Amino acid sequence: MTTTATTGAERTIADARERIDALDDRIIGLIQERMAVSAVVQETRIASGGRRVHLSREMEILGRYRDALGKPGTPLAMTLLELCRGRI
């Protein structure tokens, strides 16, 4: 591999990593926003005499992630749900 090709490849990798970092920052921000919205839902549900967790809603979320991302979507959704509602 020539120096020019190496430099080009290194630049491509560096640019892609910068984009990944920016995407990760956005994802983290969205998760934090989701956590805040989920807290409002939980507080409202509890205040109105309901349960903190709505299992059929969680099953919908698990299905949506599985359908969109395949098998790895399920544990990702479980992690997201745990972040947003805590452990059950």
Q: In Å, what is the CA distance from 28 to each residue of 20, 33, 82?
A: 12, 9, 15
Rounded Cα–Cα distance for residues 7 and 15 (Å): 12
pLDDT at residue number 5: 76
Q: What is the pTM of this model?
A: 0.84
Question: Mind listing the pLDDT tens digit for each residue in 22-81?
Answer: 999 999 999 999 999 999 999 999 999 999 889 999 999 999 999 999 999 999 999 999
pLDDT at residue 2 above 80?
A: no
